[in-house]
Amino acid sequence: MSVIPLTVSLSLGLVFIFVALFWREQRGRHRASPERDSLLPLAEEQPRAAGHAPAAAGCGCERGEHPPCAGCRRERPDAVTTL
């Protein structure tokens, strides 16, 4: 048996399975699952001094009220990040 076609076939098969599973995972990512949901309370968070600038400045992007605005991204790149 030729090794190369076999390797290619198996590799393609694995790729296909990966793509199919990835597609399924992507489609289902908005669904709930008990395993994932049960971890929700354990999400990490960081403290920030109360009365911090964003509320006073009136910019809601740091409070998550609207998407990061250009001004905040420019002035405080560490505070608001965009993928």
Q: Which residues bind other proteins (CB under 8 A)?
A: 29-52, 54-55, 61-68, 79-83
In the complex, what is the shortest distance from the CB of residue 54 to other proteins, in angstroms, rounded to a whole number?
Answer: 6
- CA 4 vs CA 7, 10, 12: distances in Å: 5, 10, 12
For the CB of residue 69, give the shortest distance to other proteins in the complex, in Å: 11
Q: How far is the CB of 7 from other proteins (least distance, A)?
A: 36
For other proteins, give the closer residue by CB, 9 or 48.
Answer: 48
Q: What values do phi and psi take at 75, rounded to 5?
A: -80, -40
How far, in Å, are 2, 9, 75, 78 from residue 60 at the CA level?
63, 53, 15, 16
Q: Which of 25/65 has CB closer to other proteins?
A: 65
